[in-house]
Structure formats: structure tokens, C-alpha cells
Structure 1
Amino acid sequence: MSGIEQRDEAAVRQVVEDVQRHQNDLEEFLSFHTGDTSIVNFVGRRVRGLDTLREVAKAALESSKADIITTAEVEDVRFLGPDVAIVAAVKRVFDKRADAGTALPASSGWITYVMTKESDEWRIVSAQTTPILT
């Protein structure tokens, strides 16, 4: 792996860490996404575009969904070119809501990010979470 690839992989991994660290800080969280981002969440809801993501995330943070915390552990980073990366990570969900027993289909899943490099910064273009059912 070249020095550039190593730096890019470290930067991509850092975005994943930053997204989870700022999941309850709306503007910081959004700053890691492109304007045309497309997100499919843990329960299959698709959100397209940064403005829509802002609305959905804001509503979630103002509700009991703010008590759902997730982590992501990167398993694999693959580069399709100098400015596109595919990231596979294990997502773990910690649901601290009172009704958490029936709220989510599973407590872990696979999340796949598609990232692009814009002005030397890696951003999330797409994210898809698939629950791991046991």
C-alpha cells in the first residue's frame, strides 16, 4: 500500500469514527456527508439529500431516538479509485429507550459506506445498514 493510500485509508477510518462521535451533534454529523447523500437506516428507511437528512436527524434528536447510540467498527476499506472508497463496518446499536425491547430488529448490523473525496476531504455519499438477525 502506498503512502497516499495509507493516508486516505486513515482519513476514511477517521470519518467513520467522527460520524459516530458526533451522532448527537447535528451540524457536525451532517458535515461528513455530501449534498446528495443517500442513507438507508437500520429499519430500512431511505433518506436522500442533505436537507432531508437534516430534517430527519433533527426530529430524531428531539425525540426518544436520541437515546439510541451506535458504534461502527471498520472491517474493510477498498478504494475504487483515488477519490472513491467502499467501507464495510460492523454497526452496534445501544438502545436505551424504555420501549427498546421491540423497537429495533437487531442489536448489530453491517453498514456499508460509499465515500468520495471532495477538496481533499472524505465525505459519505451513501450508507446502507443491514441488520444481523440471530
Structure 2
Amino acid sequence: MNNADRELIATAAIHTLVAEAVKFQNDPEQFVPLHTASVNIVNFGGRRVSGIGALSKAMQAALASPLADVLTEIEIDDIHFVRDDVAIVACVKHVFDGREDARGNLPASSGRLTYVVVEKDGRWLIESAQTTPILSS
């Protein structure tokens, strides 16, 4: 298989990974395994979570709170392959705050999301995620 074919297959797998992250955003049993054991995430509010155990705990806490009513959609803008098994995925995250009293609780309604994804044992996983709010002018 040539490099262009590998990249096409990897690009499709990364699109599937991101779609699953959106689909399972309120299902820790499905969402957490989409990440590496050493995952490092900085969320929309600037909170850093390091490691898959911490991610699982943070998700459980968020879903037991009004944050369960904050949903997101993600659009992929670009995928840049650093190596055959590592890619940087530039996205826009759209945030929908369905909490009853949501006025002013989020810094913005959209953000720039950057994933670092890695292929391990033929499967693409999220190694890092960083979201920066897009402030309206």
C-alpha cells in the first residue's frame, strides 16, 4: 500500500474517531476508551485532566452535575500527519448549553479544538485535546 492510500485510510479512521467522541460524549464507557492511557486534556474552561483514570472520574463528576446538559458538535478543519501514526487534528467545537440557568456560564459558544491522535495496534486514539474558546468581538 502506498503512502497516499495509507493517509486516506487513516483520515477516514480519524474522522470516525472524532464522530465517536461526539456521539459518546455522555457515555463514559464508550468515550473513555477512545483515548490513550496517558491522555492529556485541557477543556473549554481551562481545566487540565491527565491520564485515563482522571478522565473517567472527571466525566463521571460532570455527568452527575448540570454539565450533563452541555453538549458539543465538532467540525474537522484539517488533519496534518506528523508521522504515519501521529496526526494533529484542527477542529471547531460548537457548544450548546442546555442548562436551565446557563447565562454567562461559558466563555463562548464555540472554540478551537486541537487533537493529537495516535495509531496504536491499528486503532486511532486521542492522546491530547486542547480547546480554546473563540471570543466574539
Match of 1:122 in 2: 124
2:64 equivalent to 1:62: yes
Deviation at 1:18, TM superposition (A): 0.4
Deviation at 1:27, TM superposition (A): 1.2
Amino acid at match of 1:35: A
Structure 1 stretches of 4+ moved >3 Å:
none
Once the two structures are aligned, what percentage of the paired residues are identical? 48
Match of 2:76 in 1: 74
Alignment gaps of 5+ in structure 2: none
Q: Which residue among 38, 41, 58 is the counterpart of 2:40? A: 38
Secondary structure of the residue aligned to 1:102 is coil
2:49 equivalent to 1:47: yes
- Give me the whole-angstrom Cα distance separating, in 2, the residues matched to 1:62 and 1:50: 18
- Give me the whole-angstrom Cα distance separating, in 2, the residues matched to 1:79 and 1:13: 13
- Give me the whole-angstrom Cα distance separating, in 2, the residues matched to 1:118 and 1:3: 18
- Give me the whole-angstrom Cα distance separating, in 1, the residues matched to 2:19 and 2:61: 23
* 1:60-102 CA distance string (max 9 Å, x none): 0111110000010000001001110000000000000012111
Q: Which residue among 6, 9, 13 is the counterpart of 2:8? A: 6
Aligned-residue RMSD, C-alpha: 0.8
Secondary structure of the residue aligned to 2:119 is strand
The TM-score with structure 2 as length reference comes to: 0.96
Amino acid at match of 1:47: V
Match of 1:18 in 2: 20
Amino acid at match of 1:113: Y
Deviation at 1:122, TM superposition (A): 0.4
- Give me the whole-angstrom Cα distance separating, in 1, the residues matched to 2:13 and 2:130: 20
- Give me the whole-angstrom Cα distance separating, in 2, the residues matched to 1:124 and 1:56: 16
Secondary structure of the residue aligned to 2:67 is helix
Secondary structure of the residue aligned to 1:79 is strand
Amino acid at match of 1:132: I
The TM-score with structure 1 as length reference comes to: 0.98
